[in-house]
Amino acid sequence: MTGKVRIVAAVWLALCGVAVGAVVLTTRPWSRSFSLKPAAESRYQPPSTAGSFRETRGARPAPARPGGYVGSRACAECHAEIYGQYAATPMGQSLASVDEAMPVEGEQAATITPPGNRIYRVVREEGKVFHSEVTLDGRGDPLFDLREEVRFVLGSGKRGRAYLINRNGRLFQSPIGWYAQSHGWDLSPG
C-alpha cells in the first residue's frame, strides 16, 4: 500500500466513524425522565443496620477540604435517612480514610512471610496503621525496612480490603491486603 492510499483510507475510516457517532448520538435516548417518589411509596427496604452507621459515626458535616470539597457526610444533616441507608451498604463503605473506616479486620497486627527474602508487617500505633516491607540479605539480616503510613481503605470488607499509601500527593496500593474468607492478612494479587 502506498502512502497516499494509506492516507485516503485513514481519512475515509475517520469520516465513517464520525458519521456513525452522529447517528448514535442523535438516535440514542441518553436521558430518561423519571419522578422521585416519596420514601413511603418506595419499594426499597433499608438494611437492618441502616441506623447503626449514623449512631456510631455521627452525622456532623465534615469540615471543608482544600478546593471546597466537604464529603458525603455534609449531606447527612438534611438527608439523614438516605445517608444512613447508603452508608450501611457495602458500596457506601467502599472508600474511607483509615480513621473513618469501619473496622472489620480481626487482627490488629500481622506478619506475612512469603517464600523469598521479604517480610511484610501490619502495625497499629496511636490510631495510625503502618505497612512495612523488609528485604533480607542472604544471612537473614535486614537490607532495608520500608515503613509507610496507610491513609485510605478500599473495600467494605465483605470480601476483602486493599490499602492506599499517600506519597507526595500520589496514591499507591500497599502490597498487603485483608481477606474476609481467610479472615486474615496476606499479599495482594500481583
Supply the pLDDT for residue 61.
56
Per-residue confidence band for 65, with pLDDT thresholds at 50, 70 and 90: low
Cell numbers for 163:
490499602
CB of 79 closer than 8 Å to CB of 92: no
Higher model confidence: residue 155 or residue 38? 155
- The amino acid at residue 85 is Q
How does 60-84 read in b/e, with b if 16+ C-beta sit within 10 Å? eeeeeeeeeeeeebbebeeeeeebb
**How is residue 136 written as a grid cell?**
533480607
Comparison of pLDDT for 93 and 99, the residue scoring more? 99
With cut-offs at 50, 70 and 90, classify the pLDDT of residue 23. Answer: low
The secondary structure of residue 175, as a DSSP letter, is S
What span, in angstroms and rounded, lies between the C-alpha atoms of 175 and 190? 9
Is residue 74 very low, low, confident or very high in pLDDT (cuts 50, 70, 90)? confident
Q: How far apart are CA 88 and CA 55, in angstroms?
A: 11
Which range of 69-73, 91-95, 132-136 scores highest in mean pLDDT? It is 132-136
Q: How far apart are CA 26 and CA 97, in angstroms?
A: 43
Q: What is the mean pLDDT of the chain?
A: 74
Mean pLDDT of 81-96: 80
Question: How large is the average pLDDT for residues 151-166?
Answer: 89
